[in-house]
Structure formats: C-alpha cells, structure tokens
Structure 1
Amino acid sequence: MSHIACTVDDDAVAHVRLDRPAKLNALTLDMLRDLAATARRLRREPGLRAVILAGEGRSFGAGLDLAAAARNPAGIARAFVPTWRGTNRFQEACWAWRRLPVPVIAAVHGHVLGGALQLALGADLRITTPDARWCVMEVARGLVPDMSGIQALSELTGLETAKRLTLTAEEFSGTEAVAYGLAGMAANDPLEEARTLAAGIAGRRPEAVRGAKRLLDRTWHRGPRRTFAAERRAQLRLLPGAMRR
C-alpha cells in the first residue's frame, strides 16, 4: 500500500498528499521512492498546470521514520547510491519537484520536521499555518540535513540563518518561517490558499509559466550536484552512530 496519494483535478492541478496520518506522515524508504516516482510521472502528465503538496491528518510530516529505516539496512545502503541525476533516493524525493516544469506549491500545517521540511523546500512556493511547528532537526538526531536541504536552506534564508537553524535544531513557528524566507505566506487554511494560487497560475499561458520557472531556476543558483555529494559523504559518516542511539 502506497502512502503517497496523487490525483489531478479538472483544472489540470495535481494534488499530491502524504497519506500516513497515524504516524504524522513520517517518511519511510518506500514513501521516498514513491515521491520521486510520482514527480517523474507528473512530468509526463499532458497539460499539467501546477502541483500542490500537502499532508493528510494533523501534520504535513514528522520527518524520516528512522526506526522503520533501521529495520532495512540494505535498503538504506541502496537508497544512498546516487543516480545519473546526481541525487540519491533521499535527495530525489525532494529535488524531483524542482525538476517539474510547472510550479509546485507546498501547503503545510502541524509538524514540518526534518525530511518533511526538506520536502517542503523542494516546492517552488510554500504556504504555512501560523502555528505550524518547523524544525531542521537532523543535528539533534546526530545527523545532517541530507535530502537536498543544505542547498535549499542556504538559497532561501541566506547562509547565517541556515547555519543557525541547522546547528541549533530549534523549533520555530510558521510565522517565523515566513520571516526567515522559508515560506512565502502564512494562512489559517494553507490548502485552500494553495488551491486559489494554483488556479490563478493555471489560468496563465502555460508556456509562459513553464518558461519563467525554468529561467528563474537556471539563473538563481549554481552547483547543486557538488552539494548533494557533500551531503551524502557527511551523512554516511554519521548514520551508523545515529542508528545506535
């Protein structure tokens, strides 16, 4: 059973949902695989105009389910192997959304922790509830952000804020996430705001929307491949100790 649900509505907007609410949508290796596969499938969706990422239940996501991952060491080893894209499974689950030609909007609420935060940062735009609980929590687990988060954090917040949020692993609210630049706006109903935003984008000329996203992405930053490799090296050194904690 997949815990990633995906539907496309009549306006050609895809709705992708983390669907493991009993575990606060904590990410498993299978969910990471399915996230990347869903993004690849949507790249081929004819006429697609926008994508909305959200979580079912009380949270967007509570990060990686380390306990579940620890039961599958061979799966972890396979997931760390990078592909020709320059990403491994952990990284591609988040960065694959950047590869989509259409805008991706993350509507987040409740917990936005660790890997789920990095997934949200893989979107082009983010809308959060004011009281959402954000945290770059990996250092608190004895790890580093390694799901493309290092690249996304520093480009969105600037280096000093990225370092502070990463090194302290302090929790911050959705309102603070907006102030830090990690989200574009706060709303009591982020999913409804995301639907309104997606509908507005869907009404624009699709070639212009795709072209504008591509142009902004290609000129905004440089060198993610090197960053992904550095993430992998750092995490592989730390992972064995974290599993024994």
Structure 2
Amino acid sequence: MWSAEYVRIEVDDATPKVATIRIDRPKLNPLNEQVQDELKAAAEQVSALPQWRAVVLYGGPKVFAAGADIKEMADLSYTDMVRRSGALQDSFTAIARIPKPVVAAVNGFALGGGCELALCADLRVAATDARFGQPEIKLGLIPGAGGTQRLSRLIGPARAKDLVFTGRLVAADEALQFGLVDRVVAPEEVYPTALAWAAELADGPAFALRAAKEAIDRGLETDLATGLEIERIQFAALFATEDRAIGMRSFIEQGPGKAVFG
C-alpha cells in the first residue's frame, strides 16, 4: 500500500475495489506544499492501478481540510508564488483527473483549499455539521486552486461570486440546496456512506464510467458542438469494450439492470 508522511492510500477488506486517499496532517489538515505534492502522487497511484475502480477522498472524522497553510504562505513573494502556483493547481487537477469515480467524504471544515479539494471530486457526502467556504478574500486574495472555476461550474456564477466575494461559510444544508454537496448525513455516517457509494460505482463498467467522466468534464470546458463530438467519440469507442458486450448480452438474456461487470 502507498503511504507518504501526510497522505496515504487505504483499502478496506470489505470493499477491495475502492481506494481511500486519506489526508492526515493534524490538527486541521492544512494543505501545505508537501501535502499538495503527496496528493498528486496518491492520485497518480490510484489512477494507474486497475484493481481500484473508485476512490474516496477523506480527511478523517474531525475535519476534511481547513485550507492552505497560511504560515507557510505568509512570507512568499510574487515570484515565489509564480513558481509554486502551477504546482498547486496541478496537484488538485491530478485529483480531478482520476479516471474513476471519486467521492469526497467531508467532516468538519472544508475551507479555502479544502473546499477546492472537495470540488475536485465527482460527488460529495457531507456531515450535518460540515462547513464549506472560500474565505481567501479575507486575506486579500482569491481562490487559487480552482475555486473561481470549479465552484462556478458546479453551483453557477452568481452563487459562486457570493461565496468568493464575501468569504462566508456555508452550512451543510445550504450546500445541499446549492448543489455543492450531494448527500448530507450524520457525522459518523459520512465515511461509511461515501465508501458504500464508491463501492456501488466500483461494480459498474469501468471503461464506460471513465468515458462518462471524461465526456462530462471535458465537455464543460468547451462549447456545445465540441462537447457533443467528445461524447460521440467516447460513445463509439465503448463498442470495442468487453463491458459493452456483457451489458448488452445481459440485457437481451436477462433483462435490464442485471449485468455483472468484471
């Protein structure tokens, strides 16, 4: 199993197809440069190994991630951040580009970089007492790891501007209303719910799920005509996969929804 100082990959024996990327940097999982680099390395690991077909992104039972390491950033100059900002975005993009379903399990705070990290997942389960926000404006900054882009694509530009302009915190129920999270459960149920959801997705057709994720994500980055072309190419390519053959044969012989994918 892969492990670094602050980020590790865990696998539960009951759900061997699901890899959990676990952040563990007490007390609030501040996302310093080392954590960012370790997240990128973990993303590369789970992307490369086919036995893991879905991923949970987890900061532990107390907090997801309370943001960047402000003490580390406070003395950085403009040229320092020019050098580092690309690597910062690359680490988060590596999470977003994992070619498998990714479910974020959010307890406690997901603020600043923590909120941006949660946005890199495909789906988000939050605790009833979770709090989300992009408070960078209160530091005289703006989000720098995707918050102005992924947040506005997920909840719309007006709501994103509200959160970015004010830096206010959003409770789980409001985040659910916005579409910032997909499910809200009791704090002790966050990780089990995310794990069960990921395990359900892990039993699906891996190449079709990969194609669906890429078509949606890449399509959002371009115009409709180009997005439709991405979809067409991905759709046609799946006719070369065994999963497509299994799914259609099962449908014909057993009816819908009974296919078992390898």
Residue 21 of structure 1: CA displacement? 2.5
Deviations 1:105-141 (A, max 9, x none): 1000111110000000011111101221211111011
- Which residue in 2 is equivalent to 1:122? 120
Taking structure 2 as the reference length, what is the TM-score of the superposition? 0.77
CA distance in 2, matches of 1:98, 1:222: 17
Percent identity (aligned): 36
Q: Report the equivalent of 1:133.
A: 131
Letter matched to residue 18 of structure 2: V
TM-score norm. by structure 1 comes to 0.82
Structure 1 pair 77–151 and aligned structure 2 pair: CA distance change class (3 A): closer
Partner in structure 2 of residue 163 of structure 1: 161
* Aligned equivalents of 1:76, 1:5: Cα separation in 2: 27
Q: Which residue of 1 aligns with 2:178?
A: 180
What letter matches 2:201 in structure 1? I
Residue of structure 2 equivalent to 1:55: 59
Structure 2 counterpart SS, 1:211: helix
Give the aligned CA root-mean-square deviation in angstroms: 1.9
Q: Which residue matches 1:218?
A: 218
Which structure has the larger Rg over C-alpha atoms? 2
**Which stretch shifts more, 68-77 or 133-142?**
68-77
Using the alignment, how far apart are the partners of 1:187 and 1:159 within structure 2? 27
CA deviation map 1:135-154 (0-9, x unaligned):
11110111001101111011
Report the 3-state secondary structure (helix = DSSP H, G, I; strand = E; otherwise coil) of the residue aligned with 1:131. Answer: coil
> What does residue 7 of structure 1 align with?
10
Within-5 A mapping of 1:73-222 = 76-80=81-85, 88-188=86-186, 189-222=189-222
1:69 shift after superposition: 3.2
Q: Deviations over 1:48-86 (max 9, x none)?
A: 211100112521111001102346668645312xxxxxx
Say yes or no: does 1:68 pair with 2:72: yes
Q: 1:214-244: per-residue Cα shift (whole Å, max 9, x none)?
A: 2222223339xxxxxxxxxxxxxxxxxxxxx
The one of the two structures with greater contact order (alpha-carbon pairs below 8 A, sep at least 6) is 1
Equivalent residue, structure 2, for 1:84: none
Measured in 2, the distance between the counterparts of 1:8 and 1:222 equals: 36
Is the Cα contact below 8 Å between 1:29 and 1:75 reproduced in 2?
Answer: no
